[in-house]
């Protein structure tokens, strides 16, 4: 009985992940290195961002949960209702997944970043909100480049 439940739970996870993968394949998905995933939800029409540019973004951050809708688990942060967040791409002032994940976006574009722990907060986690070794999902909109 226990093994059937485990197999059933594993099967559900694979089924849900398969559905998400199918949905993601309909948009532009890029994997960087072995694990960072960049899913272009909407391609922008403005200037393209590159390393060294200052990005202005709106974002929402989620803990990855393979059983949640779109695998977006608990929301832990958002710029909604605040001015856009600004950072210099590639300067190492944000997690590596952001530095690598926004490169190539065009102003007006929206991208989902699925960031593995080694490109996020790793074994230390962050602020009591992000557990150790968490995979993170960020929905990012590039609103401007300075």
For the question of residue 59 being annotated catalytic, the response is yes
99 is catalytic: no
State yes or no: is 145 an active-site residue.
no
The catalytic position among 49, 121, 130, 137 is 121
Active-site pick, 77, 85, 87, 145: 77
* Catalytic option among 39, 49, 59, 99: 59
The residue from 20, 40, 65, 76 that is catalytic is 76
Nearest 5°: phi and psi at 70?
Answer: 55, 20
91, 97 contact by CB (below 8 A): no
Active-site residue identified among 39, 99, 115, 138: 138
Q: Tell which residue, 48, 44, 61, 69, has the closest CA to residue 98.
A: 61
Which listed residue (39, 49, 95, 114) is catalytic? Answer: 95
CA 120, CA 114: separation in Å to the nearest integer?
10
Active site residue 65: no
**C-beta separation of 106 from 113 below 8 A:** no
H/E segment holding residue 39: strand 36-42
**Helical (H) or strand (E) element with 85:** strand 85-88
Residue 76 designated active-site: yes
Catalytic residues: 59, 76-77, 95, 121, 138
């Amino acid at each position: 009985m226990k093994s059937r439940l485990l197999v059933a739970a594993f099967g559900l996870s694979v089924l849900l992940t398969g559905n998400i993968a199918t949905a993601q394949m309909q948009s532009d998905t890029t994997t960087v290195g072995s694990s960072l995933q960049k899913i272009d939800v909407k391609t922008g029409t403005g200037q393209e961002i590159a390393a060294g540019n200052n990005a202005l973004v709106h974002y929402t951050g989620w803990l990855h949960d393979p059983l949640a809708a779109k695998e977006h688990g608990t929301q832990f942060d958002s710029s909604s209702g605040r001015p856009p967040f600004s950072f210099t791409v590639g300067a190492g002032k944000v997690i590596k997944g952001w530095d690598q994940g926004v490169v190539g976006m065009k102003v007006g574009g929206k991208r989902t970043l699925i960031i593995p722990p080694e490109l996020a907060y790793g074994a230390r986690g962050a602020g009591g909100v992000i557990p150790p070794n968490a995979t993170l999902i960020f929905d990012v909109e590039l609103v401007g480049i300075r």
